[in-house]
Structures are given as C-alpha cells and as structure tokens.
C-alpha cells in the first residue's frame, strides 16, 4: 500500500453533539479515497492500517451482548425494557448508554444472533419516506424502493450498501413489512421477525455501540 500521498477528511455526525473528526486518508491518483470512512467510529480502523499500529479492542460492558465482527471490531448490544417512541428510544441510547444508537448489524451472523435472543422492539432501520410500498423483481434490484433496499439505517449502524441491505431480508417474515396503514415507517423486531410500525408507537428497544479501540 502506498503511503506517500494523503488527504485530510472530516465527518460530522448529524443530530447529536459530537464534534467533527479529521483523519489523514491515503488517496488514489484519480483523487478517490483508498478507504471509505463513513463514520468516526471507523477512524481507529483506518489508523490501524495507515500507521500499522497494533490495537486493543476492549470488551463490552457487563450485561451487554457481544458480537465479534470479521473486521476485528466488537459490537455491543443492550436491550432496554422501557417502552418509548422510536425517536425517544434513539435519544435514550445516545444520551444514557454511552453514545450508542438503535440496534444495527453488519453481518448475517450478527443479525441471526439478535434474532436468536428474541429481542423485541425498535431497531435502527427506517423506511425511505418516498417508498410507502416496496417493488420487487430482479430488474428493480437497484431501485431504492426494492424490497431489499426500502429500509436503511439513518445512523449507519447497519450496513446501508446494497449488499448490506440484503442482510436485512433474513429478518423479514410473516408478510412483513407491509405498511398496512401507510404510516409504518419504523422497524421493530417482534419475536424473531422484523415488523414495521408507526414511529410514535411505544416499544422496548435495543441499543448498539462499538467497543472502544486503543492503538498501542
């Protein structure tokens, strides 16, 4: 990997009080970045590669469910029994549980782990506002309202790439999501299936955050 040329990149988090982060990113001759750092949580990963530093991944706190991802990071999930509206739950995760967000996943096995635990309530996925109904068929796979793409995670906890969104489909069952009342734009887990509901309904919820990484 070439380390001769770098460009400064920053990313600020909308709708919270986090500050902008800046990292030095190696870029290609055409000006494109060699790395896609979409969130400050990924900055230690970049530094690990660029600086070739060893890193220490901390354990999840007590009572948090642990999932070790293939990229060497560690996701921590915590179930909250108190019922809240979707946005209230999101705020609670961030303000009361160490800067976490409503639950997300980046690998099929991580989603399956959460399903096996029978989590109930809000997760991070939301329906595209322009997609009250899903479209299907291979010819529409790139369409934002395709069944695989109709939900994404506005906080980027889950993988919002086309491939990442296909992971979500494993949690869809029982004819859901179907937006039966035309205002069901937020996703929950009910049993081990995802189910869309009005965002003002009150449900328990699961929060997710990444374990701290230290460069040694």
pLDDT tens across 160-191, in order? 886 777 777 666 676 666 666 667 889 998 87
What is the reported pLDDT for 216?
Answer: 73
Torsion angles phi and psi, residue 115, rounded to 5: -65, -40
Can you tell me the distance from the alpha carbon of 110 to that of 210, in angstroms, rounded to the nearest whole number? 13
Residue 44 confidence (pLDDT) above 90: no
Mean pLDDT over residues 69-92, rounded? Answer: 96
Token pair for 182? 């035309």
What is the share, in percent, of the chain residues with pLDDT greater than 70? Answer: 61
Neighbouring CB atoms inside 10 A of 40's CB total 17
- Amino acid 200: pLDDT: 96
Using the predicted structure, report yes or no on whether residue 203 has a pLDDT greater than 70: yes
Residue 64 vs residues 35, 69, 72, 77, 207: alpha-carbon distances, Å: 30, 15, 18, 5, 9
Q: Give the chain's mean pLDDT.
A: 75
Asked whether 151 and 209 are in contact (CB, 8 A), the reply is no
Tens digit of pLDDT for each residue in 83-105? 999 999 999 999 999 999 999 99
């Amino acid at each position: 990997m070439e380390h001769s040329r770098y460009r400064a990149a920053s990313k600020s988090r909308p709708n919270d009080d986090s500050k902008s982060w800046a990292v030095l990113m190696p870029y290609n001759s055409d000006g494109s970045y060699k790395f896609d750092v979409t969130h400050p949580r990924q900055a230690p990963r970049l530094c690990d590669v660029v600086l070739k530093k060893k890193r220490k991944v901390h354990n999840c706190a007590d009572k948090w469910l642990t999932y070790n991802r293939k990229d060497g990071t560690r996701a921590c999930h915590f179930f909250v029994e108190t019922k809240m509206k979707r946005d209230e739950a999101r705020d609670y995760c961030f303000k009361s549980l160490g800067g976490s967000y409503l639950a997300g996943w980046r690998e099929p096995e991580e989603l399956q782990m959460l399903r096996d635990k029978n989590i109930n309530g809000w997760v991070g996925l939301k329906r595209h506002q322009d997609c009250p109904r899903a479209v299907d068929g291979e010819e529409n796979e790139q369409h934002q309202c395709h069944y695989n793409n109709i939900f994404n995670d506005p906080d980027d906890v889950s993988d919002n790439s086309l491939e990442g969104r296909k992971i979500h489909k494993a949690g869809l069952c029982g004819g859901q999501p179907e937006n039966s009342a035309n205002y069901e734009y937020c996703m929950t887990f009910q049993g081990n299936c995802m189910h869309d509901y009005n965002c003002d309904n009150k449900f328990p919820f699961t929060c997710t955050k990444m374990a701290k990484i230290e460069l040694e």
